Amino acid sequence: MDVHQHIFLDFEFSMPDRKMSQRGFFPEIIEVGVVVEEDGSIIESFSSYVQPRVFKTLTPRCKKFLKIKQEDVDGGISFIEFIHYLQKLNKKGKNRIITWGNMDMKVLRENCEKAGLLFPFQGEFVDLSLEYKRFFGDRNQTGLWKAVEEYGKDGVGKHHKALDDAMTTYNIYKLVEKDKEYLNRATPPTIGDRVDMKKLMNLLA
C-alpha cells in the first residue's frame, strides 16, 4: 500500500558576486532542509550542506548574505548523495512536495540537468506562496516570514537557514489547511430550514 507523504523542502543557493563576472554561472544548491509528514505527524527531518559541483568556491556576497562558510559546504554531502536521498523519499509512496515559491524546484531541475541526473520526484507539486496569495486575495506574493508573522506566529529558528525555513513552511501549510477546513464547513441551517413553515401555518390557522 502506497504511503501518502507531504514533503516540505527549502534550499539555499550559491550566488554570483555583482562586481564579478562569472561566465556561465548558475545557482547551485548548497544547503537543504527537508521535513516529511505522514498521517498528520512529522516522521523525518533532514538538514545538510551540499558541495557545489561546478562553482566550488562561494562568493563573498553569498557567504555574507547566507552566513555560510566555505568550510561548511566543503564538508557537506555531494549533490549526487543528496539526489539519492530524495530518490529514497520518492520511492516511499505518493508524495505532495511543498515549497514556498517556485525557485526551489526550478533550481533542483536545472542542477539535475547540469549533472546529467534524473529529477528525483514524482507527485504533486505545490507552491505554497501562490496558495497563500489566492487564499487571502493578495495582489503580490508574500515572503515566507512575513506570511507567518501575518498569522501572529514566529518563524522557526533563523530565516535563510534551510531546515528552519522548511519547518516554517510546514507550519504555515498547517495553518492555511486549518483555515480552509473551517471555511469549507457547511453553513448551519436556519430556522426556516429546520421547520416546515407550511405545516406550521396550517396548525396556527
Catalytic status, residue 12: yes
- What CA–CA distance (Å, rounded) separates 44 from 41? 9
> What pLDDT, on a 0 to 100 scale, did the predictor assign at position 1?
47
| Type of residue at 24 | G
User: Strand 29-38 relative to strand 41-49: parallel, antiparallel, unpaired?
Assistant: antiparallel
pLDDT digits (tens, 9 = 90+) for 152-162: 777 777 888 99
Show the cell assigned to 73. Answer: 559546504
Q: Which of 12, 28, 31, 37 is catalytic?
A: 12
Average pLDDT over residues 22-45: 93
Q: Does the domain at residues 5-185 carry the CATH identifier 3.40.50.300?
A: no
Catalytic status, residue 160: yes
What residue ranges do the domains of the chain occupy? 5-185
pLDDT digits (tens, 9 = 90+) for 94-149: 899 999 999 999 999 999 999 999 999 988 999 999 988 888 776 677 788 788 88
Q: What percent of the chain has pLDDT over 90?
A: 59
